Amino acid sequence: MWFLERWLENPETVKKMVYLLYVSLIISCLLGFVVQYGMAASDHGEEHEGFAFEQIPVFSAIYGFVCCILIIILSKAFGHSGIMVEEDYYDK
């Protein structure tokens, strides 16, 4: 799989992929608006109205971002409060 290696380690490709990420972030948010306002009329077949917070078109994006940051920071804080110990802890 040498081509994968050559391709992924090329700074040009990495740059392109970062742009691709930015573009997809924007598109996903725009699609959120489209689904919320553009398709609302045709989407009333659903049996539940959903929660109020789900009405925000980019709710999932915000929630995912905030949750991810919180998970990392809070878990690491929890771990460093005495939960993480040396590997030979139980052998002592």
List the x/- string, 2-41, binding to other proteins by CB under 8 A: --xx--x------------x--xx--xx-xx--xx--x--
The 3 state secondary structure assigned to 41-66 is: HHHCCCCCCCCHHHHCCCHHHHHHHH
> CA of 1: how far to CAs of 8, 26, 80, 89, in Å?
11, 32, 40, 41
Q: Identify residues 34-63 at the interface with other proteins (CB under 8 A).
A: 35-36, 39, 43, 46-48, 50-51, 53-54, 58-63
Among 67, 65, 59, residue whose Cα is nearest residue 35: 59
Kindly tell me which of 12 and 82 has the beta carbon lying closer to other proteins.
82
Among 62, 1, 57, residue whose Cα is nearest residue 31: 57
Under rule CB under 8 A, residue 78 binds other proteins: yes
The binding site for other proteins (CB under 8 A) comprises 1, 4-5, 8, 21, 24-25, 28-29, 31-32, 35-36, 39, 43, 46-48, 50-51, 53-54, 58-65, 67-69, 71-76, 78-79, 82-87, 89-90
